A = this chain, B = another copy of it.
């Protein structure tokens, strides 16, 4: 439904990140190779950490490939942690409040996929959002509701646990309405230091998700590639689809799993939703 990328590492030019790769996110807007849709032209957004506590976000309803502001603004941003997302709407309106990444305080969230039969289950799900958080919901997407459910269930303290509970609730609610496979998702979320990524779907056939190989390994493999020398060893990308064809550079995130990218050792685990009734 959408395409996204998350970058963490040495500060990079957001422009280089978005426009330079052969199969860059901007290229994927018109010619996604692995997406459910080849076109992802229903708005876009970027989020990044820079000045102040709150990350910057820029949302637009134009296709990313057209947006001159994106080209210009991204060239003026260098950041060690960047989220970028291009949207293919599953029906909700094209408006800035429906563009990812969504932000709450210092947190960002973006999602590819959908909550099935969202129209039917929306009210029940929204009722589970913490009343103190409820008025912060600004748009009308399933993705933002999923974010607010995760916030309700403790995203600040235990992201994998909070997402497991949010997904468990979505599945249990959907099934109550007769939805066979209530959720399809890849999700990235960050607190400005760590990036958590999730790949899961009720049907066990999730949207594609990849993470980049350790830069030091790649540098050994490609000693003459100048791009790789500008990056710290810890730099890492998580992407809906590979940004290019460099052999060995990309690893698929396994079905039903979550991982965390952070200073020190990254981790990869099995993901199991936690339904409220459990």
Contact = CB atoms under 8 A, between A and B. Distances in A.
A97 B95 contact: yes
A94 B68 CA distance: 9
Interface string A47-73: 010111010111111110010110011
A94 B61 CA distance: 12
A69 to B, nearest CB: 5
A54, A63, A119, A122: which has the most chain B beta carbons within 10 Å?
A63
Contacts of A58: 69, 72-73
A60, A68, A78: which has the most chain B beta carbons within 10 Å?
A68
A68 B52 contact: no
Interface in A130-184: 131, 134-135, 137-140
Q: How large is the interface on A (under 10, 10 to 19, 20 to 34, 35 or more residues)?
A: 35 or more
A218 interface: no
Contacts of A77: 51, 76
Interface stretch (A35-43, A207-215, A231-239): A35-43
A42 to B, nearest CB: 6
A154 to B, nearest CB: 20
A95 B43 CA distance: 13
Contacts of A123: 131, 134-135
A96 interface: yes
Contacts of A96: 68-69, 93, 95
A206 interface: no
A117 to B, nearest CB: 10
Q: Which 6 A-B pairs rank lowest in CB-CB distance, beginning with the nearest?
A: A56-B76, A95-B95, A50-B76, A119-B135, A41-B41, A123-B134
Interface of A: 13, 30, 37-39, 41-42, 48, 50-52, 54, 56-63, 66, 68-69, 72-73, 75-78, 89, 93-97, 119-120, 122-123, 127, 131, 134-135, 137-140
5 contacts: A41-B41, A41-B63, A57-B72, A58-B73, A59-B69
Given A51-B76, A52-B75, 7 more contacts: A39-B39, A42-B63, A59-B69, A63-B63, A66-B89, A76-B77, A95-B97
